Amino acid sequence: MLSETAYAKVNLALHVRARRDDGYHELESLFAFCMDGDRLDASVRGDGALRLTIEGPFADDLGEDEDNLVLRAARALREASGAGLGADLRLDKQLPVAAGIGGGSADAAAALRLLVRLWALEGAAIDLAGIAASLGADVPACLASQTVFGSGVGDKLSPVEMDLAGTPILLVNPLIECLTAPVFKGWDGVDRGALDPLAWRRGRNDLADSATDLVPEIDEVIAVLRAQLPSVTRMSGSGATCFALFGSAAERDGAAGRIEKDHPDWWTMATSLR
């Protein structure tokens, strides 16, 4: 049995530049990743079958059918490698679904990393990046799960010279589903300018207004986080998860405790950036 973490993704800034004719959007984002997330376990099946079970607090929000991104990733890797092996996969779903922190994409990327090890494919001539891109716009960034600048639809990745590892971060979600497609559809179409990844603290999330129109509780989450006096507070991705960065783990944990006490119906995760 091998295990892999599906690290929660955070968009430290997200600038939407244009709506494309194919329905996607040109955007610029600084992706960062948390130390924690979902957990994926796997063991080899000699019969070539792929089986997935899901457990954890958000298991009921996902299906174990063939369209699950973990199974799609496994099938794509098996086909590309010609390995002929199967796997029993178990996903411990700790991250809320449709939450703007890359849950499904992170799970797919974790499946690719895990099965490469499980099936002993290290060094094989496999286009992992291409497989990741075929599974979704965020999966390539989630594959490495390192701080990176994304452009295009989020799939054109460029390294950035910064080290955010260890930065204390608190994620908060009001546990209201915020679907990506309606949020992007509600974007007002105004290009507010490029994102300088080295100046991301002065950036923004251009989807925040659209997401808040759909989930007004996001405004309350942002207000509560700002009251904790972090260095940065912003919505991640298409919402509804918001994040706050702190100067110390003690400050983060104090904020988490206060929010959990005052809002026991919200989801929180106190962690740090990778």
Asked if 138 is an active-site residue, the reply is: yes
Lookup: tokens for 7: 């690290």
The closest of 242, 213, 188, 262 to 8, measured between CA atoms, is 242
Annotated catalytic residue, options 9, 36, 38, 93: 9
Rg (CA), the chain: 18
Q: Scanning the structure block, which residue is given the tokens 């939450």?
A: 99
How buried is residue 61: exposed, middle or buried, by Cβ count under 10 Å (0-12/13-18/19+)? middle
Asked if 9 is an active-site residue, the reply is: yes
Annotated catalytic residue, options 92, 107, 138, 206: 138
Question: Which residues share a beta bridge with 232?
Answer: 245
Lookup: tokens for 90: 């178990």
Taking 3-state DSSP, the helix, strand and coil percentages for the chain, each rounded to the nearest 5, stand at 30, 30, 40
Following DSSP, what letter does each residue of 155-224 receive, concatenated? TEEE--S---TT-EEEEEE-S----HHHHHHT----------GGGGGG--BTTHHHHHHH-THHHHHHHH
Lookup: tokens for 71: 């199974």
Lookup: tokens for 251: 């400050």
Region class of 142: left (phi > 0), else alpha (psi between -120 and 50), else beta:
alpha
Catalytic residue IDs:
9, 138
